[in-house]
Structure 1
Amino acid sequence: MSLRLPANVANAFADRKSLMRRIGQFVLVIIAIPLVLTPIYWIVPPISTLMIWSALTFQGMERDWVGLDDVAPVMVNSVIMSEDGQFCEHSGVDWNALGIVLDREGGPSRGASTIPMQTVKNLFLWQSRSYVRKGLEIPLAYYADFILSKRRIMTIYLNIAQWGPGLFGVEAASQHYFNKPASKLTARQAALLTAALPNPIVRNPAKPSRAMQAKARIIEGRARAAGDYVGCI
């Protein structure tokens, strides 16, 4: 004798199975997007999720893509020495720095992120801090570092980083704050732009606070001593 489930129970199971199938398909699509797009970004200038959101919410989206040859070397040095001193040494994730920051209270912070991690976060993920987002950043950062060169990762990062409401990329930021191309930035201006990165909505490189000026002086000194730390660029 075969047992039949009541129609309402059978329908409930069918609906649940259908829902799980749709969730699985959605997850696969989310995973596939960075896997497919990252190699394309060797050639195609990408836009970030934050840039898309800024445009959709009418905050504006100003960005002028430039190659790394059109960015002052001191700007590159400033970013590496401030954001990710081991950029040329690791393969996408700096586990020593990550372990130190994850041990702190309050969840993972920007200090736990390498430049590849910040790049994939800006390209594919969301901005709010969470262990879930950090867990996604790690494999994506390894993948990006494997597929792309260090120079290309830095080029992408500098062109998608936010420097103000609706303001993205180092060229647009340099023109907006200092009325000059990124290729002409001075060491001080590069340090001020870098000092603004952790909180670009409230930090103005053209009108820095005392705390921001102090941080910029530290960054400027580190950039001068960059040496082999930036050899991969």
Structure 2
Amino acid sequence: MAGHSKWANIQHRKGRQDAARSKLFSKLSKEITVAAKMGDPDPDKNPRLRLAVREAKAQSMPKENIERAIKKAQGGEAEAYEEIRYEGYGPGGVAIIVEAMTDNRNRTASNVRSIFNKNGGNLGETGSVGFMFERMGQIIYPLTVAPYETVFEAALEAGAEDVEETDDGYFIYTDPTELASVSTALEEALGPAESTKLIWQPTTTTELDLEGAQKLMKLVEALEDDDDVQNVTTNADLSEEVMAQM
């Protein structure tokens, strides 16, 4: 799990400018709209929508933005988005999974392939790197929420599979089908989480030196800048020395 957490830490430490936050809100809105369109517009009756709304709130997305995204689905204004997963390799042989939501498959495939090619990567076939990841639910709480023992016991009672304490908080992992129920139980015990979402957890990692890490970050940022891309996950493992240099 260290590989994923370290990469998440780097992204977190970089911080996000206003433009990046606007793009993040746009991606969150798209997920909310799609979730509401696919199921019940009431978050209490729609687990995927409930998670999308919870994550949006955790990222400080305004309430009116959330409500607007749900109404867009109810009003039939939402585009017909298709969910696609791309897999490939980045600098240093790092495995990458790109999750996209698009109304034009050809445009998105072309853009993603171009970004990989321009940044030292190689887009592969579906399944080419997926075996190196496991689908999991992830819930993050700040270290200030409670002592480790308290968080561990609450997570265990809620049905979580593992709890990892890092410098950036408690990372709680669940079966993907149990994320909604576990997060609800934890919210009752510990309060709102900093983040609640489904992730691709690397089961094997690839270590990078400073140059490789910098090249990978450039590729990941270029992918995340694409409007159709929702999430980017890598199996990069960065040493403390490399992280300090970055």
TM class by shorter chain equals under 0.3
TM-score when scaled to structure 1?
0.26
TM-score when scaled to structure 2?
0.25
Per residue, is there more helix in 1 or in 2?
A: 1
